[in-house]
Amino acid sequence: MIQYTVIFSLLLFSLGFSPAFAEVNTDKSVYYPGDTITISGSVVPEDGVTSMSLLVVSSSDIVSIAQLNIITDSWSHEIKTGGTVWIPNTTYTVKATYNGVLQQTTFLLEDQPTSSSNTQSSSSDDANTSSNPSQDTTNVSDDSQQQTLFSFIDPDKDPQYYIDRYNNEQIYRDWFDANFSGYTIYDAVGLDVTPLPPPDIPPWIKNVFQFYSEGNIGDDELKQALVWLIQEGILKIE
Q: Is 235 helix (H, G, I), strand (E, B) or coil?
A: coil
Burial class (CB in 10 A: 0-12, 13-18, 19+), 184: middle
Model pLDDT for residues 122-179, shown as the tens digit of each residue: 444 444 443 444 334 334 345 544 545 577 788 888 888 888 888 888 888 888 888 8
- Provide the β-strand partners of residue 43: 21
Core vs surface per residue 38-75: b (16+ CB within 10 A) or e: ebebebeeeeeeeebebbbeeeeebbbbbebebeeeeb
Report pLDDT for 133.
40
Task: Indicate left, alpha or beta for 40 from its phi (over 0: left) and psi (-120 to 50: alpha).
Answer: beta
Report pLDDT for 196.
64
Q: Which residues, given as ranges, of the chain have pLDDT below 70?
A: 1-22, 112-149, 193-199, 236-238
Cα dihedral 15, 50, 98, 8 in deg (nearest 10)? 10
Query: What does pLDDT average to over the chain?
Result: 74
How far apart are the C-alpha atoms of 212 and 221, rounded to whole Å? 8
Kindly list the domain boundaries of the chain, sorted by start residue.
2-109, 157-189, 196-238
Q: For the chain, count helices (H), then strands (E).
A: 8, 8
- Whether the Cβ atoms of residue 74 and residue 57 lie closer than 8 Å to each other: no
CATH topology of domain 2-109: Immunoglobulin-like (2.60.40)
Report pLDDT for 139.
45
